[in-house]
Each structure stands twice: as C-alpha cells, then as structure tokens.
Amino acid sequence: MHELSIAQNILDIVREHLPPEDRHQVRTVKLKIGELAGVVPDSLEFCFTAITTNTPFAHATLEIERIPLRARCSACSAEFAVQEFSFACPACGATNVDIIAGRELQVTSIDVLEEHEEIR
C-alpha cells in the first residue's frame, strides 16, 4: 500500500511549511490527485488519519480534488477528455497524444484555524 508513504510525504510537506506552534491548528490539507496518479483516495485518507492520530495533526483532514485525464492531439492540437483510457483523438482519430492533465499529485494548500475558531 503505497498510500501510506504518500500520506507520510504529505505530512512531511505540512511540517515543512508550518512552524511547530501552528501544527495543532491544521484543519484541512487540500490535494489534487490525477486519474493516472495511481492513488486510491479512500486508502490515502485512511492512512493519513492513521498516522496523524494522537499527534498535533489529529484534527486535520484531507480534501481531495480529482483531476480527470485530458490529452492534446499532436496532429490537430485538439484537447479532449480521455474516456475509458481511449487515447484516440475524437476530432481526427490520431493516437499520438500528449497527456496534459491527470497525473497530478500535489498539495495545493494547507488551511489552518483562525484565531477565533475552535476545533470540533
């Protein structure tokens, strides 16, 4: 289950970008995960919860934006959503395409509590 190592890497990124005194205030870690990233979101969330339990990050959750697979045709430059892993261009039928979206695996933001908010 490589989602465990990905969850650990996400936590490392959060630690790297927040001072220790703010770590208990992390509310949400927002991610973009592409369809081709090879990550099972439910497993990633489970692993993240498991490694943050009883830590300053125990109240943090993941908010995952799934990025659909998109391609650009090398022959006619048409951009299209790849459906059922069929990489043929719907405009001209060519199969020489470049993936332009769908491989993402990135932390896009870390939301922390405002001073007046409380963890529930």
- pLDDT (average), residues 59-81: 97
Q: Residue 111 burial by CB count (10 A; 0-12/13-18/19+): exposed, middle or buried? A: middle
CATH 3.30.2320.50 correct for 3-69+102-112: yes
Task: Give every CB contact of residue 20 below 8 A, 6+ residues apart in sequence.
Answer: 56
* Global pTM value: 0.83
Q: Does 116 have pLDDT greater than 70?
A: no
Grade residue 23 by pLDDT with cuts at 50, 70 and 90.
Answer: confident
Task: Give every CB contact of residue 107 below 8 A, 6+ residues apart in sequence.
Answer: 10, 13, 14, 29, 30, 31
- pLDDT (average), residues 39-46: 96
Q: What is the pLDDT of residues 81-110, one digit of tens each?
A: 999 989 999 999 999 999 999 999 999 999
Domain ranges of the chain: 3-69+102-112
